Amino acid sequence: MFNPLRSLLDKNKKGSAAKKPCCCAKCFFYDDMGSLAKQLFEDDFPTSNSLTTSVHHTVRGIRFGVESDVECLPDGSISASLKPEIIPVSFLNASGLVKGMNKAKIGSLSVGFSEIPKLPGLQGEVSFSSTMDRFHVKTQYRHPYFSVTSDNTVKQNQDLAFNLSAVGRPKAIGVAAGIIAKVEAKKSDSKGSLLKRYNFGLNGLEGRVCFARGPWNMFLECTNFGRDYSFAVMRKVIVPYLTNEMLVAARLNAHAMIPDMTGAESAKDKCAAVRNAIRPVATFAARTNVTRTAAVKVKVSTNGTVGISLSERLSEWAHAVFAINVDGKNLSAVGQNTLNFALTIAN
């Protein structure tokens, strides 16, 4: 049965002693709700040219690897990063990162863990960086039916940031729901306890709901304290003589604000005031396989933007994506009308 949420219940397969622990941002439960309706609009539409490589080799049960990334941004600047890592045991990895952009260098050291033998549902990452986020501690507990994540940061100016998210999926009803709260603590001139030395404030509150049943997939996201909404609906269809599967979807983004009717006398002016307050943008997307290893995506929005991408699985280790992004309302905009290419090579 077609159910994108099945990944929420899949157990991690047991691998060798050199298996890399999964502690990257994409694996954290709040972002990994299994929503194809969300991924259809965001994945495979790069806005820059990039080359990403990842090479790993195992020696006597210890895995060594190097990841590199070179990205050419639309403004002509180049960003490059190098990340060596070592995985001494299956549930632990240590890595370093050096990144340079416009003669500015950023470095960080991190240790990640996941699938500890006595704590199979616990995973996380601890990192130290020379950037504004000096210390970063991220932990998560994953259960087949729910997940709780804590993401805490100590910044260069000693300000603090706390993010707490939770996701739950009731059994056998195809629904996953998540919420995340963002709290910031800015350092004050007061002395004493932690509560006196920092001014705490709620910086953000977000919610997500994903529903999957048969060929249908729906995704609702609420951000900015309930002021911004995004609702996407996707369905799998069968197109004879073209492909045996096609994904079609529609997404509506809107802003919740009370319209300003000051000076709006005619019905046209009132409609314009409502439109400016809500700022609705509808986007339509489709994905189909043109060959066994290649797929084409197209998305068109009511604000005039058009995106076309071709993703090709060149081999078992290489994946390439070609993407065209066009702003129909401003064809002379250099940064918005782009032809991008992304190549990923990993063993």
- Main-chain dihedrals φ then ψ at residue 61, nearest 5 degrees: 85, -5
| pLDDT value of residue 31 | 61
Residues 73 and 327: their CA atoms lie apart, in Å, by: 18
pLDDT value at 38 more than 60: yes
Q: In terms of Cα–Cα distance, which of 111, 107, 106, 109 is closest to 124?
A: 111
What would the mean pLDDT of 228-232 be, rounded to a whole number?
A: 93
What would the mean pLDDT of 250-255 be, rounded to a whole number?
A: 93
Helix runs in 183-241, H state only:
194-197
Give residue-wise pLDDT tens across range 145-159.
Answer: 888 999 999 998 889
Give 285's pLDDT tier (boundaries 50, 70, 90): very high
Q: Which tokens is 222 given?
A: 């609420």
pLDDT value at 127 more than 60: yes
Q: Which tokens is 165 given?
A: 């998210």
Round the average pLDDT of the chain to a whole number and report it.
Answer: 84
| pLDDT value of residue 222 | 93
What would the mean pLDDT of 108-123 be, rounded to a whole number?
A: 89
Give 125's pLDDT tier (boundaries 50, 70, 90): very high
For 326, half-sphere exposure in the C-beta direction (CA atoms, 13 angstrom radius) is 10
**Percent of the chain residues past pLDDT 90, beyond the cut:** 44
Terminal CA-to-CA distance of the chain, rounded, Å?
A: 31
Specify the residue for token string 């000051």.
Answer: 262
pLDDT value at 260 more than 70: yes
Q: DSSP letter at 74?
A: T
| pLDDT value of residue 21 | 45
What are the C-alpha distances in Å from 152 to residues 8, 17, 179, 206?
A: 24, 30, 16, 17
Give 17's pLDDT tier (boundaries 50, 70, 90): very low
Q: What's CA 258's distance to the chain center, in Å?
A: 30
Name which residue leads in pLDDT, 87 or 130. 87
| pLDDT value of residue 311 | 94
Give 15's pLDDT tier (boundaries 50, 70, 90): very low
pLDDT value at 230 more than 60: yes
Give residue-wise pLDDT tens across range 165-188.
Answer: 999 987 677 888 999 999 999 888
Q: Which tokens is 144 given?
A: 């087949």
pLDDT value at 3 more than 50: no
Q: What's CA 189's distance to the chain center, in Å?
A: 37
Highest mean pLDDT among 18-22, 222-226, 239-243, 339-343: 339-343
Give residue-wise pLDDT tens across range 75-115.
Answer: 778 899 999 999 998 889 999 999 987 778 889 999 999 88
Residues 274 and 252: their CA atoms lie apart, in Å, by: 16
Least confident of 11-20, 64-73, 243-252, 285-294: 11-20
- Main-chain dihedrals φ then ψ at residue 312, nearest 5 degrees: -130, 130
Q: 268: part of which helix (H) or strand (E)? A: helix 267-278
Give residue-wise pLDDT tens across range 287-344.
Answer: 998 888 899 999 999 988 999 999 999 998 999 999 999 988 887 776 678 899 999 9
**Percent of the chain residues past pLDDT 70, beyond the cut:** 88
| pLDDT value of residue 239 | 76
Q: Are 209 and 177 in contact (CB under 8 A)?
A: yes
| pLDDT value of residue 42 | 84
What would the mean pLDDT of 205-210 be, rounded to a whole number?
A: 92
What would the mean pLDDT of 264-277 be, rounded to a whole number?
A: 82
